[in-house]
Structure 1
Amino acid sequence: MPLITRRAFATQASAAALVALGGVSAAWSLPAAGRPTVTMHKDPSCGCCTGWARHLERAGFTVRSVDSADMIAVKARLGVPEPLQSCHTAEVAGYVVEGHVPVSAIERLLAEAPNATGLAAPGMPIGSPGMEGGPPEVYEVVLFGAGGPRLYGRFRGSAPV
Structure 2
Amino acid sequence: MTVYKSALCGCCEIWTEAAKEAGFHVVIEDMEDLSAIKQQARVPESMQACHTAVIGDDRKYIIEGHVPLEAIQKMMSERPDIHGIAVPGMPQGSLGMGYDPKAKYTVFSLGNKASDAPQSFMTMGE
TM-score by length of 1: 0.70
Aligned to 1:148: 117
Q: What is the percentage of aligned positions where both structures have the same residue?
A: 40
Task: Tell me, yes or no, if structure 1 residue 120 matches structure 2 residue 86.
Answer: yes
State the Cα distance separating 1:136 from its structure 2 match.
5.7
Distance in 2 between residues matched to 1:66 and 1:144, nearest whole Å: 22
State the Cα distance separating 1:155 from its structure 2 match.
1.1
Task: Tell me, yes or no, if structure 1 residue 102 matches structure 2 residue 71.
Answer: no
Name the Cα RMSD after superposition.
1.6
- Partner SS state of residue 74, structure 1: helix
**Structure with larger Rg:** 1
Task: Tell me, yes or no, if structure 1 residue 76 matches structure 2 residue 33.
Answer: no
Q: Is the 8 A contact 1:88 1:98 kept in 2?
A: yes
Letter of the aligned partner of 2:14 in structure 1?
A: G
C-alpha change, 1:105 and 1:135, in structure 2 (3 Å) is: closer
Q: Is the 8 A contact 2:102 2:124 kept in 1?
A: no
Structure 1 runs of 4+ off > 3 angstroms? 133-137
Unaligned runs of 5+ residues in structure 2 are: none
Distance in 2 between residues matched to 1:48 and 1:57, nearest whole Å: 14
Unaligned runs of 5+ residues in structure 1 are: 1-37
Greater helix content: 1
- Partner SS state of residue 52, structure 1: helix
Distance in 1 between residues matched to 2:66 and 2:26, nearest whole Å: 14
Distance in 2 between residues matched to 1:46 and 1:58, nearest whole Å: 19
Distance in 2 between residues matched to 1:58 and 1:44, nearest whole Å: 19
TM-score by length of 2: 0.88
Distance in 2 between residues matched to 1:106 and 1:124, nearest whole Å: 17
C-alpha change, 1:134 and 1:155, in structure 2 (3 Å) is: closer
Which protein has greater RCO, CA pairs closer than 8 Å, 6+ apart?
Answer: 2
1:24-64: CA deviations, max 9, x gaps?
A: xxxxxxxxxxxxxx100001211100100121112111211
